[in-house]
Structure formats: C-alpha cells, structure tokens
C-alpha cells in the first residue's frame, strides 16, 4: 500500500520547474522542509549531478533528524533531505546515504528537467 502525498512544492530553475509532492501528514520533518522552502533557504546553490545517480544541492537544516517511515519506499524520483543536502534520487536502486529522511517525490514532467541536469544540458 503506497502513501499518498498531501502537499506540493515547486522550485523554479533555469532548466524548468521541479515539482515535489511531499508527505506532509506522514513525516514531521516536512513542516520544517516547507518552512525552509518558503524562506528560500533550500535551493540557494546550484543543482549538482553526481555519479551515483542523484541530484543534490547544499542547504542548512539545523532541526534535522532521521525519520524512517515503513510504508514510504525509496525509488526513482524520491526526494530526501539530510542536515546539509537536498537529495533527488534518479535511480531505481537504494542509495548508500545513511542519514537522510524521505520527504517527497518528483511529480509531473519534472523528472525530464532533472534528466537535463543529469545529462548536463546547459
């Protein structure tokens, strides 16, 4: 049984919008995530693609703590957050990042925007 999302955040980039649907009712950390989004504290840096099939950017989340939800699974398009990074998974496999919390998933055509970042189409 999958968990439904209850909120949405849209980041505007020069590649196009990135829509993130969040699990606001299931994950308590999402409230702080949304607060940081409203204050522009998350995507101040640039999106960076790394070799392990993820896109990330630096951020500061001082209230961060790891929260695991047994019904939310990691997959392609999953959005996670650590104390210092916003992470978007572009792979079907599980990432080797020990200290992160899943806060949402990519929705709509945003996965194609992230593929442009992945392929370095500038």
Mean pLDDT for the stretch of residues 74-89: 82
The pLDDT-based confidence of 47 (bands split at 50, 70, 90) is low
Q: Grade residue 21 by pLDDT with cuts at 50, 70 and 90.
A: very high
Is the pLDDT higher at 120 or at 108? Answer: 108
Task: Name the more confident of 118 and 41.
Answer: 118
Closest CA to 10 of 89, 87, 106: 106
pLDDT over 70 (residue 52): no
Binned at pLDDT 50, 70 and 90, residue 87 comes out as confident
Given this model, what pLDDT does residue 1 score? 43
Of 58, 92, 61, 62, which Cα lies nearest the Cα of 74?
92
User: Poorest-confidence range of 24-38, 67-81, 86-100?
Assistant: 86-100
Question: Across 24-75, where does the E strand assignment appear?
Answer: 48-50, 54-58
Burial class (CB in 10 A: 0-12, 13-18, 19+), 3: middle
Categorize the per-residue pLDDT at 22 as very low, low, confident or very high, splitting at 50, 70 and 90: very high
Q: With CA atoms as reference, report the closest residue to 112 among 10, 16, 21.
A: 16
How many CB atoms are located within 10 Å of the residue 115 CB?
14
> What's the CA gap between 122 and 109, in Å, rounded?
18
Q: Which pair of structure tokens corresponds to residue 82?
A: 């650590």
pLDDT at 19: 92
pTM for the structure as a whole:
0.79
In the block, tokens 């990691």 appear at 74
For tokens 């792979």, name the residue: 91
What structural domains and CATH numbers belong to the chain? Answer: 7-118 (2.40.100.10)
């Amino acid at each position: 049984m999958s968990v439904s999302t209850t909120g949405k955040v849209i980041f505007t980039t020069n590649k196009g919008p990135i829509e993130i649907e969040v699990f606001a009712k299931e994950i308590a950390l999402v409230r702080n995530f949304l607060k940081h989004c409203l204050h522009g504290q998350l995507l101040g840096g640039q999106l960076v693609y790394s070799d392990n099939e993820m896109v990330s950017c630096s951020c500061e989340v001082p209230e961060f703590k790891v929260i695991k939800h047994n019904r939310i699974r990691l997959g392609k398009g999953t959005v996670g957050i650590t104390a210092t990074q916003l992470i978007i998974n572009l792979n079907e496999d599980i990432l080797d990042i020990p200290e992160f919390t899943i806060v949402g998933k990519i929705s709509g055509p945003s996965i194609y925007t992230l593929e442009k970042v992945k392929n370095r189409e500038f």
